[in-house]
Amino acid sequence: MIGRKLVTRLASDGGVGELLLHDVIESRAPRAAFPVRTLVGDLSAPGEAEKLVALRPQVIFHLAAIVSGEAEADFEKGYRVNLDGTRRLFEAIRKAGDGYKPRVVFTSSIAVFGAPFPEAIGDEFFSAPLTSYGTQKAIDELLLADYSRRGFFDGIGLRLPTICVRPGKPNRAASGFFSGIIREPLAGEETVLPVPKSVRHWFASPRAAIGFLLHAAQIDTAALGARRSLSMPGISATVGEQIEALRKVGGEKAVRLIREQPDATIMRIVEGWPRNFDARRAAGLGFRADASFEEIVRIHIEDELRT
């Protein structure tokens, strides 16, 4: 989803020489004023990263790959794609050996952190992931920093907040309800809230996330020093605050479509997630969060419901 929105934005902004889209399935090429090539392949397969690096892209957005639930269910696949695939890409760049030194923008995750947390997670809080996905992302961050320090490429890692409101159909991710309780009521549909309203979480709109990626592609990385990965700024909101924002934007009739139906399993998973960050470094480097959760709701309406 982020990849598709990034490509749409790049196509409308322009200023790109050529766009290469690589995925395990055929990517939809956007209409753009510059050439767009789509490539299909598995980055974790031997030789695949070398094929991409042979095209010498100047900026690489690496939005890997196997999501949290799948990486937990399939240990080998998660490590093969999220760790080995990323390492193969980094190795292919290192071995280019002709002075090639692209900007690598890597999407990491707040899953690199594991409970118990401080009230707000600071920039020097440690990675103690509680999932294989978080472990793989934390390892990728370490590799990104070392390859950058060595001068093999110019990397930056972004720990994105939970993206909200995620467009499209409801999915079965444990985090799905954070978007569902806004998206479905605004579409006139009923939705289920499986956790108490006191649950607090950390959000960014898709628009803010694309802004982070584009900023990361252009930033002067000298300011990062050796610490190449950053928690992105976001909005910390309780489910109750989410619902209040929905009420302001969508009215009481929207709020009435939320049915509370506690689910102990989802509650247990969500309890292990970060609630709030003090993302001072990223803010100081010019990364901009949404203004409020209400703005997040309005962005969803502007970007998804008025097309």
Binder among 68, 86, 109, 132 for its own copies (CB under 8 A)? 132
Q: How far is the CB of 44 from its own copies (least distance, A)?
A: 15
- Single out the segment in contact with its own copies by CB under 8 A; choices: 17-25, 143-151, 184-192, 259-267: 143-151
- For the chain, the residue count is 307
State yes or no: residue 224 binds its own copies (CB under 8 A): no
State yes or no: residue 274 binds its own copies (CB under 8 A): no
Q: Are 182 and 248 in contact (CB under 8 A)?
A: no
Buried b (16+ CB within 10 A) or exposed e, 249-276: bbeeebeebbeeeeeeebeebbeebbbb
Token pair recorded at residue 189: 């549909």
Q: How far is the CB of 248 from its own copies (least distance, A)?
A: 38
Active site residue 133: yes
State yes or no: residue 236 binds its own copies (CB under 8 A): no
CA distance 249 to 228: 38
Q: Are 240 and 152 in contact (CB under 8 A)?
A: no
Token pair recorded at residue 217: 């592609």
- Single out the segment in contact with its own copies by CB under 8 A; choices: 119-127, 171-179, 232-240, 292-300: 119-127
Q: How far is the CB of 172 from its own copies (least distance, A)?
A: 22
> How many other β-carbons are positioned within 10 Å of the β-carbon of residue 30?
16
Phi–psi pair at 266, nearest 5 degrees: -65, -40
Sequence-ordered list of residues with C-beta below 8 angstroms from that of 16, at least 6 positions apart, any chain: 10, 32, 34
Token pair recorded at residue 225: 């020093």
Which is catalytic among the residues 79, 100, 133, 147? 133
State yes or no: residue 282 binds its own copies (CB under 8 A): no
CA distance 51 to 63: 18
Binder among 56, 149, 256, 268 for its own copies (CB under 8 A)? 149
State yes or no: residue 68 binds its own copies (CB under 8 A): no
Choice between 227 and 268, CB closer to its own copies: 227
Q: Which residues bind its own copies (CB under 8 A)?
A: 75, 114, 118, 124-130, 132, 135, 138-139, 142-143, 145-146, 149-150, 226-227
Active site residues: 133
